[in-house]
Structure 1
């Protein structure tokens, strides 16, 4: 292993920018992840940058599995298919009806532009 290797990076410690519940999304700067514990704003939290999660989705949107790009709406604190003003986080892992309030999301770990 390279001597300069620090960690894999799938799970990282972040400072919660707001009160966050375990399983909720957090955006810190240009890095998005899912909190693995419930913490208050300003506290450190372990967060997962990649993987498949069931997350709160925007109402009225139908998603197509492995086709619909997904974004984090940091104002509403939910996942949406709307790109404008939001941060790309991954893709729909399963198709979701517009009436669904939770959607299956594949976080791909990219850094926001």
Structure 2
């Protein structure tokens, strides 16, 4: 696990730290080869050199990021109970993202990256 992401999490209040560590562990279980980095102060998981997903703690909420691609647009109905945009899903300690949603989004983003890499090799 990345020291910079561990340091980021270590600076958060305990409950936010625990919630995001749970998300982190799930992401790493789905993409164990992911490289963890900070991008503009936000922890991101890179797959085959491409930014896959990330998360962050803010004053009023927690966020799950998919900064590229169409994954959130494709799964809009499944995240409609959360404040969301084209790249971010906002959630809280009281209303966390389900493991099912996280898994579905991470898998969809990995598939999207794989397809984009295949196109480049053709």
Q: Considering Cα pairs closer than 8 Å and 6+ residues apart, tell me whether 1 or 2 has the greater RCO.
A: 1
TM (norm. structure 1) is 0.30
Structure number with the higher helix fraction is 2
TM (norm. structure 2) is 0.29
